[in-house]
Amino acid sequence: MSEDMFEVMRIALMVGRIKTGNYAAFLPPDVMEMATRNGAAALGLEEEIGSLEIGKKADVILLDLKKPHLVPMINALGTLVHTGLASDVDTVIVDGRVLMEGRKVKHLREEEILIRAQETTERLWKDFSRKYR
């Protein structure tokens, strides 16, 4: 499974259309609702997150829309669901706190985390390989 929510929405859109045999049964607003409001509800957090409303945590992403795969943009939501990528995210704001800006993570040492993730994965893979040969 991908960790790219745009890809997950795109797959949900295609699977929904194939399963129902009806193009109009799943539209970009439907999958955006699944990814936001319905995702929050599935976690039991619909009173805190899932939509931008007074009293809820403001989790927002800002996108760089000046990318060839996003042009032309006639219907913004449709374009994002059909062709958007995680790499289009420029800024991430969670509960009012800017976590990433200009594609740079603000409060973490990203390079150190990537190195540690690689080392940990190599160690786990080595252990797994020895155990299940």
2-56 pLDDT tens trace: 689 999 999 999 999 999 999 998 899 999 999 999 999 999 999 999 999 999 9
Q: What is the pLDDT of residues 91-130, one digit of tens each?
A: 999 988 999 999 998 888 888 999 999 999 999 999 888 8
Its domain, for residue 127, covers: 108-133
Q: Are 81 and 6 in contact (CB under 8 A)?
A: yes
Query: How much is the pLDDT for 1?
Result: 56
The 8-class DSSP code of residue 70 comes to G
Please report, for the domain that includes residue 31, its CATH number.
2.30.40
Strands 60-63 and 97-101: unpaired
Q: What is the pLDDT of residues 63-99, one digit of tens each?
A: 999 999 999 999 999 999 999 999 999 999 998 899 9
Q: Which two tokens stand for residue 3?
A: 């960790």
Q: Do 69 and 43 reside in the same domain of the chain?
A: yes
* Distinct helix (H) and strand (E) counts, the chain: 5, 4
Same domain (yes/no): 98, 112:
no
